[in-house]
Amino acid sequence: MKTKLLLIALAFGLMSSTCTPEEPSPTFDCECETVYYERQQTGWSGASPVYTFVEVASTEFIPADCETATDDYTLLNGQWFRVNCQTVE
């Protein structure tokens, strides 16, 4: 009886694994890197502080959608970063 149940479970497992279509791999039109920055106060403009951003680290370029790029510095979890992308030819 245990053997029959095992064979039935195996048959259903094989049937379900053969029915799933393969997902097409996405194509990306850009390669992007994440660049991390440290914000440093460099002076004052009247009563307001003036900041500059100094690059501290970056990642390797990876395939991505061009819309991933960020034009402004972004603060997330205490880290400043920008995502720079370049078009793949």
pLDDT at res. 28: 80
Q: What pLDDT score was predicted for residue 61?
A: 93
pLDDT digits (tens, 9 = 90+) for 49-67: 999 999 999 999 999 988 8
**Tokens found for residue 79:** 């880290």
Query: By C-alpha distance, which of 64, 3, 77 is closest to 34?
Result: 64
Its pTM stands at 0.61
Which pLDDT tens digit goes with each residue over 10-36?
565 655 555 556 777 777 889 999 999
pLDDT at 43 over 90: yes
Determine what percent of the chain falls in helix, strand and coil, rounding each to the nearest 5.
20, 45, 30
Q: Higher-confidence residue: 4 or 74?
A: 74
